[in-house]
């Protein structure tokens, strides 16, 4: 316990020192919102990766891998190929150049100025501000569950609710004051810690099981131990995955893999990082750094999550979900506490603290600036300089408070689902107008508006009335129709019945794309002068 406490104290000392350095260098709004547009490739790549991968990936999705096995590694492939390579090479460069040409400081502002529309900026800003606290709450839940398990039975064994307040206060302190400079400096440090710990974790796990081949074979041989409920849902085994056309298969491949794997392209807290570097060269160099980092994070978390079944069976005669008493958010924390050597638990706790703080700091920052710059500043003149930074800081405080409330009320085993929800909503609302806005001059203001609102509406409709996990929990569908999901009207086993497990993004994203292209083809194009301004630095 003393080692854990000491490791956290040293870690926090470094974090707050870096936050102080960021605060000292934050003199104007560009520093607060875009880190002065002068970040080097290592800091940018590590900040991007640490923001992308958090306790929601390591604790939440790692725990989900304890149920669903190696099938989640498809998400690792997409996060590297789409989330790093495609994002930085095909989106990052044009985002940086167009953002500079239009003097954009936030993701909603970039969209709004690309289409000359205050409505687009305000709508996207409100969407981000209202829903990113749900995603941030998922991250906060992950680290607080980890702290709850790690310090249980010790002198500082605080209850889960107390950890929520402590962690929130620590992160808010340096985000509110230091802005994006402080966030990115601390992200780079925290990402480095995370990478080292995950490397040790995967090495130790394979060693416990006798090597890579032996570990995978042991897990394959355990297919008969798959719980009956999971088998009925479509699971075959932890290495074999699930039948695609089954409730669990649709959850894995449409919600987790597809929803998150492509949703990353429209994440505002990630897109804004493209605008923090001085040239394309930094983005080129960041691709390799980011790819290796994401592999170490998600690849290790999903592999260890699946293999935890074999290790727990070897040590305790129980599979992971039984060890976690039905809450898969506790699988990774229990694995660290029960299996890993004592010296590692303290350092891993620090790494998870780093994962949570790096992501939440970025979420707080983007939520706060979306509220302040993309909504309030569109209606009220606050002047420039210090007044603008004060407003942004106030927006961050509001976002922090909303996140704390959500973390307090959300149920267990929610981390992976809340993350996938936010990624999917952003993809349906923003991805078509963002991607087409960077590459297609024929995209119109009306097309962008209809696509954004249509994608958002389609996603929310599916969420409220079709996708069972959310529609049943919210209860609106049942109140209006008597069914937890409209898909339940179909015969059991039919394609209509299976729709209740189909992710909203599978429907909403194509709807948004069709609306963007179709409406743009029949509405008035943007003026040549405006397009020249947008493409001034692209060529």
Predicted pLDDT of residue 384? 55
User: H or E stretch including 389?
Assistant: helix 386-409
* Assigned domain for 1 exists: no
pLDDT for the residue numbered 3: 66
**CA distances (Å), origin 38, targets 4, 47, 200, 517:** 36, 14, 33, 35
Instruction: Please state the rounded mean pLDDT for residues 508-534.
Output: 97
CA distances to 435, 446, 448, 510 from 517, in Å: 12, 11, 9, 11
Of 154, 185, 163, 194, the residue nearest 347 (C-alpha): 194
State residue 53's pLDDT score.
79
Q: Name the more confident of 270 and 533.
A: 533
Task: Examine residue 381 and state whether it is found in any structural domain, yes or no.
Answer: yes
443 φ, ψ (degrees, to nearest 5): -70, 130
d(CA 304, CA 63): 9
What would the pLDDT profile of 288-311 be if each residue is shown by its tens digit?
999 999 999 999 999 999 999 999
Which percentage of the chain shows pLDDT scores above 70? 95
Residue 94 CA neighbour count, 13 Å, CB half: 17
- What's the chain's average pLDDT? 88
Q: Is the pLDDT of residue 419 over 70?
A: yes
Helix (H, G, I), strand (E, B) or coil at 480: helix
* The pLDDT of residue 101: 94
How many Å apart are CA 205 and CA 311, to the nearest integer? 8
Report the run of H or E that residue 22 belongs to, with start and end.
Answer: helix 2-24
Which of 513, 522, 319, 317 is closest to 434 using CA atoms?
513
pTM of the complete model: 0.89
Say if residue 70's pLDDT is above 90: yes
Tokens of 433: 């107008």
The single-letter DSSP state of residue 524 is: P
Contact 29, 392 (CB under 8 A): yes
Task: Give the DSSP letter of residue 503.
Answer: -
Instruction: Give the model's pLDDT for residue 353.
Output: 77
Judged by average pLDDT, the poorest of 7-21, 63-77, 223-237 is: 7-21
Give the CATH number of the domain where residue 59 resides: 1.20.1730.10
Band of residue 224 on the pLDDT scale cut at 50, 70, 90: very high
**H helices of 251-341, where?**
261-263, 268-271, 280-294, 300-316, 320-323, 331-338
Residue 49 belongs to domain spanning: 40-420
**Res. 185: pLDDT tops 70:** yes
| pLDDT one-digit tens code per residue, 89-117 | 999 999 999 999 999 989 999 999 999 99
Indicate whether 428 pLDDT > 90: yes
Q: What is the pLDDT of residue 232?
A: 94
Write out pLDDT tens, residues 232-266. 999 999 999 999 999 999 999 998 899 888 988 99
Alpha helices (runs of H) in 151-260, residue ranges in sequence order: 160-208, 212-220, 228-233, 247-250
User: Quick one: pLDDT band at residue 386, thresholds 50, 70, 90?
Assistant: low
Residue 472 near residue 484, CB atoms below 8 Å: yes
Q: Which residues pair with 166 in a beta bridge?
A: none
Provide the pLDDT for residue 441: 96
Distances (CA, A) of 487 to 463, 478, 479, 492: 12, 12, 15, 10
Q: Please report the sign of the dihedral spanned by the C-alpha atoms of residue 324, residue 328, residue 329, residue 333.
A: positive
Provide the pLDDT for residue 263: 86
Rounded Cα distance, 454 and 57, in Å: 29
Summarize the confidence of residues 400-425 as an average pLDDT.
78
Residues 260 and 50: their CA atoms lie apart, in Å, by 16
Q: According to the model, what pLDDT value does residue 365 have? A: 84
SS3 state of residue 385: coil
Length of the chain: 539
Look at residue 429 and tell me if it is in a domain.
no
Lowest mean pLDDT among 25-29, 459-463, 499-503, 535-539: 25-29
* DSSP tag of 193: H
Confidence band, pLDDT 50/70/90 cuts, at residue 181? confident
Count the domains in the chain: 1
Give me Rg for the CA atoms of the chain: 23
Q: Looking at residue 329, what is its pLDDT?
A: 79
Q: How confident is the model at residue 317 (pLDDT cuts 50, 70, 90)?
A: very high
241 — phi, psi (to 5°)?
85, -150
Residue 385 has pLDDT above 60, yes or no: no
Question: Does residue 119 sit within a domain?
Answer: yes
Q: Give the three-state DSSP class for 444.
A: coil
**pLDDT at res. 172:** 81
Query: Exposed, middle or buried: residue 26 (CB in 10 Å: 0-12, 13-18, 19+)?
Result: buried
Q: Is residue 156 part of a domain?
A: yes
The DSSP 8-state label assigned to residue 237 in this structure reads E
- Tell me the pLDDT band of 1, cut-offs 50, 70 and 90: low
Domain for residue 22, yes or no?
Answer: no
Which residues make Cβ contacts (< 8 Å) with residue 297, sequence separation at least 6? 49, 53, 57, 58, 194, 195, 198
CB neighbourhood size of 313 (10 A): 18
pLDDT of residue 80: 94
d(CA 461, CA 509): 13
Q: Is 492 left (phi over 0), alpha (psi -120 to 50) or beta?
A: beta
Q: Locate all alpha helices (DSSP H) within 264-299, ordered by sequence.
A: 268-271, 280-294
Q: What is the mean pLDDT of residues 500-527?
A: 95
Poorest-pLDDT segment among 127-136, 345-354, 441-450, 478-487? 345-354
Residues in contact with 47: Cβ distance below 8 Å, sequence separation at least 6, in sequence order: 39, 183, 184, 187, 188, 191, 273, 358, 362
**What letter would DSSP give residue 61?**
I
In a domain, 12, yes or no: no
Query: For residue 373, what pLDDT is reported?
Result: 83
Q: Is 167 a domain residue? A: yes
């Amino acid at each position: 316990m003393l080692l854990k406490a000491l490791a956290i104290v040293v870690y926090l000392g470094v974090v707050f020192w870096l936050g102080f350095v960021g605060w000292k260098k934050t003199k104007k709004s560009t520093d607060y919102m875009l880190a002065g547009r002068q970040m080097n490739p290592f800091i940018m790549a590590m900040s991007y990766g640490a923001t992308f991968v958090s306790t929601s990936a390591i604790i939440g999705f790692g725990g989900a891998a304890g149920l669903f096995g190696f099938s989640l590694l498809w998400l690792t492939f997409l996060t590297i190929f789409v989330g790093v390579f495609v994002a930085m090479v095909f989106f990052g460069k044009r985002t940086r150049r167009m953002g500079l040409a239009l003097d954009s400081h936030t993701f909603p502002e970039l969209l709004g100025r690309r289409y000359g529309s205050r409505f687009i900026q305000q709508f996207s800003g409100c969407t981000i501000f209202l829903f990113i606290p749900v995603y941030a709450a998922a991250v906060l839940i992950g680290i607080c569950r980890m702290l709850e398990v790690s310090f249980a039975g010790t002198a500082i064994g605080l209850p889960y609710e107390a950890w929520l307040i402590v962690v929130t206060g620590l992160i808010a302190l340096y985000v509110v004051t230091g802005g994006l400079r402080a966030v990115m400096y601390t992200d780079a440090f925290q990402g480095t810690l995370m990478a080292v710990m995950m490397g040790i974790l995967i090495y130790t796990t394979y060693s416990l099981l006798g090597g890579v081949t032996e570990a995978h074979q042991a897990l394959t041989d355990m297919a008969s131990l798959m719980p009956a409920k999971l088998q009925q849902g479509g699971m075959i085994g932890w290495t074999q995955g699930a039948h695609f056309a089954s409730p669990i298969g649709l959850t894995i491949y449409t919600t987790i893999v597809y929803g998150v794997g492509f949703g990353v392209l429209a994440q505002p807290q990630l897109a804004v990082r493209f605008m923090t570097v001085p040239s394309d060269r930094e983005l080129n160099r960041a691709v390799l750094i980011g790819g290796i980092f994401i592999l170490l994070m998600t690849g290790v978390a999903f592999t260890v999550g699946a293999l935890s079944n074999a290790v727990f069976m070897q040590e305790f005669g129980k599979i992971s979900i039984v060890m976690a008493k039905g809450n898969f958010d506790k699988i990774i924390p229990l694995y660290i506490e029960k299996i890993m050597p004592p010296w590692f638990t303290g350092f891993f706790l620090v790494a998870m603290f780093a994962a949570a703080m790096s992501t939440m700091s970025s979420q707080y920052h983007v939520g706060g600036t979306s509220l302040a710059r993309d909504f309030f500043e569109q209606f009220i003149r606050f002047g420039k300089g210090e007044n603008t930074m004060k407003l942004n800081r106030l927006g961050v405080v509001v976002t922090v408070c909303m996140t704390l409330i959500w973390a307090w009320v959300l149920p267990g085993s929610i981390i992976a689902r809340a993350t996938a929800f936010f990624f999917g909503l952003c993809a349906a609302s923003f991805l078509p107008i963002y991607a087409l806005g960077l590459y297609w001059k024929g995209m119109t203001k009306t097309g962008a508006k209809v696509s954004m609102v249509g994608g958002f509406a389609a996603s929310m409709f599916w969420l409220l009335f079709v996708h069972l996990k959310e529609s049943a929990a919210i209860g609106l569908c049942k109140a209006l129709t008597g069914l937890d999901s409209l898909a339940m009207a179909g015969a059991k086993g039919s394609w209509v019945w299976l729709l209740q497990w189909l992710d909203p993004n599978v429907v909403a994203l194509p709807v948004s794309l069709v609306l963007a292209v179709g409406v743009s083809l029949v509405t008035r194009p943007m003026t040549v002068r405006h397009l020249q301004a947008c493409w001034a630095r692209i060529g």
